[in-house]
Amino acid sequence: MGPNRSKALLEREPRFDDMAVSLLAMPRLPKAMVKETKQAVELARRFNDTVVRPYALELDRKKHEDPDFLPWEFVEEANRWGLYTLCIPTLFGGQGVNFPALSYVLEELGSACTGMSNLVGVHYLGVATLCASWNMRLMNKVMRDTAEGEKTGEPCLISLAITEPGAGTDVEEVDLVSKAQVACQAKKVKGGYVVNGRKIFISNGHLSYWHMLVCYEDLKNPQDTVIMLAIHNGMKGFSFGRQERKMGQKGCPASELIFEDCFVPDDLVCINPAQGKKLKRSMKETHMQVIDYIVAASRAGVGAFGVGVARGAYEEALRFAGETEVDGKLLINHEWAQCMLAEMYKNVAVGRLTYEEANYANDLLGMFKVLEWKPIFYYLKYMPKPIMDKVIQPFLNLGAVTWLFRKIYFDWQKETDYQCSSGWGSLSKFTATDIGVKNGQLALEMMGRAGLRHDRGAEKHLRDSKLLQIYEGTNQLNRLNLFKCLIGRDVPGARVFEE
Amino acid sequence: MKIAQDAEMRMLDQMAADFAAKELVEAREDHDRYPFLPLFEDVLAKAHEVGFFTLLLPEAAGGGEQGISALSLILDDICRSDASLGGIIFTTALAHEMILKAKSEALLPPVASGDHSYREALIACPSFDNPGEAGNLLQAKGKGKKHMLSGSIEYVVLAGLCGRALLPAKVEGDESYSLFLVDLTSPGVEVSEPVFSLGLHACPACDLELKGVEATLVGRQGEGRAYFDAAVDKMFLAAAAMATGIMKGSFTEAFEYSLQRHQGGWEIINWSEVRMLLASLAIKCKVADMLLSEACRAAEADEAGWGLGARAAAIHVQELACDATTDGIQLLGGNGYMEDYGQEKRFRDAKQIQSLLGLTPMKRLDYIRRIREGEKPW
């Protein structure tokens, strides 16, 4: 058996590189990630004890009572605790904790309150979107605003504005967006763009300062004319509309963003078709690469929310079973209850494995691959901050740096790279969020009417969990994306989104 | 519902459907915001006028003397639009049924709608509990018909709305609990603010604290469990009807939405995965309808083993409703999660009513206990 034949066997579906991602990734990752992750989890647990748990039910009830309430107090507290710069690279003024650690943090926060976990996590969706353009100048500008906001005590969050009233799932897939009813348009004018349209369901919208706006130059040809703009509060023609009235995750606003002849100067263009022309692939393919970079990372994060809420429901049920007598003995001593708790524990553990594997895929092949390459990782970690800020930072404004990063991330990315990271992102997203809903349901079955009470916290986990099956692409879209990335590619005649 | 076969049932069906369409649909979102917005008292008054709160009571007691099929039919219709009203009807019917099983209808004051408010027609009770499973019960002291009750009891449904409650309490030395009728305006009764809950927001429950409160024994001392067990088979059917109605409402909303919402260039119903979800939802509705209709028919005919059938129907249909309403939201995507549509409320209400009459796993264990004790499983 020669080496070529062995390689062919490993390329056969399921490809070894797709099925053993963690095995391949672990030796290549810096050991210091472990310590960083432990410290991040400690921070999240302290934050839960001090801030999240004492306030979670009060905030949820407050939003029931006043749907327009905005949780500034919480955001300012999270800002003080450094949660909005935790995973921003030191290169851009952040603390530089590795991105996969964020998933563990989000699980921790989600186990206490998924809404508050979102108030932190969705900011990093904005960060990931900005990063997926690999516009180093704007990445530096926007993320340094967040770092500055931490120093001044004025939170500077970043949101992603992509969903429209007529197009939800469609905007996350280029084959669908080509036929979608999108209406948010950016028209080229001298010195910039003029934007008109509305975006809805924008998590953290009202609470963010920067908004990564995805819109289109030509509404009849959106797949080839996508454009990403960095919008900030106070720009003429940009305003906030209503907050949606959601079933759960009430602490985290879902906002409407309105653009009426909003002029966006050229220096706030993250990426547009003109820049796309300089890349190897077509704009449509680059458009999908951008989406895949974002969702491969963000869907692992949503997986972590799912695990967090599943864990929260499990922990409420466990507490209840340990203190409640049913039919003459403690519930926890009923065999059926023990099996139900074991099932819930298993759900949490399985969900966690999926987001970990998705993150390994991102470490190896996706958005994190440069940052977690050992030389870069340690260089950024140990480079003194003044040198980073004064010597290295100015280089980020050079077009050559953006050119280099786009070369690495767009032109040199192999098809199998984004198939693996995007496929695992989707797998984690729908597995872990289905588990979140399942554990919410099981907890309430075990607790009966005690679980229905708002003041016990269990019912909130169920309400919160349901949104996770919907946003960041419905779980149906994510199943299709998994099919497209890791299943259908090897089946002659298989077509996706073409019914 | 399939049981609406004869003229009288069809008339009831139409009346309940019209009532729901006229009184419940438009203001559903506001009704559901209780206790942060006022209770839908005008709707409750109208529901009382048409006799929804006294359906099972004999005519002599001012009731409609209807059977379980009629109650189920009405609950199915009402819960398609707003299950909170269904919860109020259910709780009062459960209390009435236990009082009737205890042959204590004389304790019920006249409730005819012309002379009495809806509040007088309602009776609060802990309709989410099987008191036999509970660790702590109220304590009763005394002899004969009058007792003094003390202790605390959680989640007494309608306690904040009406003046009377049917409560379980244990007399010291008794093996099992008894049922007592309590005037909630009596000295020594402390009623909490409405307990904010997952679903059925406009069917509120309160926690009660009782300190030596005079109460009237219902039926015989120590026989509360027997009355609960005798009433509950029928009420399982009512609970199944609520779940069936919620599911049907969820399907209708999702189906209509799928014909209008566009994705990928055409209406979403043209995507086969959407049709699969819709089919699954429709099949669950159909199965629930057939199951409930058959279980109601068996109960009305007093066929042997109908009680087990009623329990099986309820446990199964309530579980179906939880799954179905989850898909019901999914089919509307982000819109399904928002209060502007009825889907998120149906999801919450379906899960809430799964806990009616006690812990779901204990209902399953009780089911097999009855078979073990000799009841024929089919």
Environment class of B199 (CB within 10 Å of its CB; exposed 0-12, middle 13-18, buried 19+): buried
Are B153 and B139 in contact by the 8 Å Cβ rule? The answer is: no
* Cα Dmax for chain A: 78
Are B92 and B149 in contact by the 8 Å Cβ rule? The answer is: no
Q: Which of residues 265-284 of B touch A (CB under 8 A)?
A: 265-266, 270-274, 277
Query: What's the CATH architecture for A158-281?
Result: Beta Barrel (2.40)
Q: Please tell me whether the interface predicted TM-score (ipTM) of this complex is above 0.85.
A: yes
Which residues in chain A have their CB less than 8 angstroms from residue B207's CB?
A: none
- Measured in angstroms, the CA of B340 and the nearest CA of chain A are apart by 7
Nearest by CB to A176, from B29, B264, B270: name it: B264
* Cα Dmax for chain B: 75
- What are the start and end residues of each CATH 1.20.140.10 domain in chain B? 225-372
For the segment(s) A20-157+286-490, the CATH number from 1.10.3720.10, 1.20.140.10, 1.10.150.530, 1.10.150.20 is 1.20.140.10
* Helical ranges in A134-229 per DSSP H: 136-152, 174-177
The C-alpha atoms of residue A170 and residue A191 are separated, in whole angstroms, by: 30
Q: Does residue B204 have a cis bond before it (omega within 30 degrees)?
A: no
Are A226 and A213 in contact by the 8 Å Cβ rule? The answer is: no
List pLDDT tens digits, range A277-294.
999 999 999 999 999 999
B128 vs A449: CB contact, 8 Å cut-off? yes
Nearest by CB to A462, from B262, B351, B365: name it: B351
Which residues in chain A have their CB less than 8 angstroms from residue B29's CB?
A: 245
Q: Does B330 touch chain A (CB under 8 A)?
A: yes
Domain ranges of chain A: 20-157+286-490, 158-281
Cβ-based contacts under 8 A for chains A and B: 141
For the segment(s) B131-222, the CATH number from 1.10.1740.10, 2.40.100.10, 2.60.40.650, 2.40.110.10 is 2.40.110.10
Which residues in chain B have their CB less than 8 angstroms from residue A327's CB?
A: 132-133, 362
Cross-strand bridge partners of residue B181: B166, B216
- Measured in angstroms, the CA of B153 and the nearest CA of chain A are apart by 12
B22-43 burial, b at 16+ Cβ within 10 Å, e below that, comes to ebbeeebeebbbbbeeebbeeb
pLDDT of residue B113: 60
In chain B, which stretches have pLDDT less than 70?
Answer: 2, 4, 110, 112-114
Whose structure tokens read 């839960």? A48
Fold of B225-372: Butyryl-CoA Dehydrogenase, subunit A; domain 3 (1.20.140)
How many angstroms separate the Cα of B136 from the Cα of each of A167, B132, B148, B157, B217? 53, 10, 17, 18, 19
A466 vs B36: CB contact, 8 Å cut-off? no
Residue B209 has phi, psi (to 5 degrees) of: -120, 120
Amino acid (one-letter) located at A271: I
The C-alpha atoms of residue A498 and residue A128 are separated, in whole angstroms, by: 29
Quick one: three-class SS letters along chain B? CCCCCCHHHHHHHHHHHHHHHHHHCCCHHHHCCCCCCCCCHHHHHHHHHCCHHHCCCCHHHCCCCCCHHHHHHHHHHHHHHCHHHHHHHHHHHHHHHHHHHCCCHHHCCCCCCCCCCHHHHCCEECCCCCHHHCCCCEEEEEECCEEEEEEEEEEEECCCCCCEEEEEEEECCCCCCEEEEEECCCCCEEECCCCCECCCCCCCEEEEEEEEEEEEEECCCCCHHHHHHHHHHHHHHHHHHHHHHHHHHHHHHHHHHHHHCEECCEEHHHCHHHHHHHHHHHHHHHHHHHHHHHHHHHHHCCCCCHHHHHHHHHHHHHHHHHHHHHHHHHCCHHHHHECCCCHHHHHHHHHHHHCCCCCHHHHHHHHHHHHHCCCCCC
- Measured in angstroms, the CA of B236 and the nearest CA of chain A are apart by 16
pTM (predicted TM-score): 0.97
Cα nearest neighbour of B155 on chain A: A449
Nearest by CB to B337, from A450, A467, A476: name it: A467
Which residues in chain B have their CB less than 8 angstroms from residue A245's CB?
A: 29, 338-340
Q: What is the mean pLDDT of chain B?
A: 95
Neighbouring C-alpha atoms within 13 Å toward the C-beta of A84: 33
pLDDT of residue A2: 56
What number of H helices and E strands is found in chain A? 20, 10
Rg (CA), chain A: 22
Nearest by CB to A449, from B337, B355, B361: name it: B355
- What are the start and end residues of each CATH 1.10.540.10 domain in chain B? 7-121
- Measured in angstroms, the CA of B83 and the nearest CA of chain A are apart by 15
A317-354 burial, b at 16+ Cβ within 10 Å, e below that, comes to bbebbeebebeeeebbebeebeebbeebeebbeebbbb
Cα nearest neighbour of B197 on chain A: A453
A179 vs B265: CB contact, 8 Å cut-off? yes
Q: Does B333 touch chain A (CB under 8 A)?
A: yes
Q: Quick one: CA torsion of B14, B19, B25, B26, rounded to 10 degrees? A: 130
Q: Does B36 touch chain A (CB under 8 A)?
A: yes
Environment class of A4 (CB within 10 Å of its CB; exposed 0-12, middle 13-18, buried 19+): exposed
Return the CATH superfamily for domain B7-121: Acyl-CoA dehydrogenase/oxidase, N-terminal domain (1.10.540.10)
The C-alpha atoms of residue A340 and residue B365 are separated, in whole angstroms, by: 14
Q: pLDDT digit of tens for each residue in chain A (499 aa)?
A: 555 667 789 999 999 999 999 999 999 999 999 999 999 999 999 999 999 999 999 999 999 999 999 999 999 999 999 999 999 999 999 999 999 999 999 999 999 999 999 999 999 999 999 999 999 999 999 999 999 999 999 999 999 999 999 999 899 999 999 999 999 999 999 999 999 999 999 999 999 999 999 999 999 999 999 999 999 999 999 999 999 999 999 999 999 999 999 999 999 999 999 999 999 999 999 999 999 999 999 999 999 999 999 999 999 999 999 999 998 899 999 999 999 999 999 999 999 999 999 999 999 999 999 999 999 999 999 999 999 988 999 999 999 999 999 999 999 999 999 999 999 999 999 999 999 999 999 999 999 999 999 999 999 999 999 999 999 999 999 999 999 999 999 899 999 998 8
Environment class of A5 (CB within 10 Å of its CB; exposed 0-12, middle 13-18, buried 19+): exposed
A64 vs B359: CB contact, 8 Å cut-off? no
Which residues in chain A have their CB less than 8 angstroms from residue B130's CB?
A: none
List pLDDT tens digits, range A362-371.
999 999 999 9
In the three-class reduction of DSSP (H, G, I as helix; E, B as strand; rest coil), residue A366 is classed as coil
B337 vs A462: CB contact, 8 Å cut-off? no
A452 vs B355: CB contact, 8 Å cut-off? yes
Interface test with A, best of B351, B354, B367 (most A CBs within 10 A): B351
Q: Which of residues 115-134 of B touch A (CB under 8 A)?
A: 128-129, 132-133
Tallying the residues shown for chain B, one arrives at 378
Q: Is B357 left (phi over 0), alpha (psi -120 to 50) or beta?
A: left
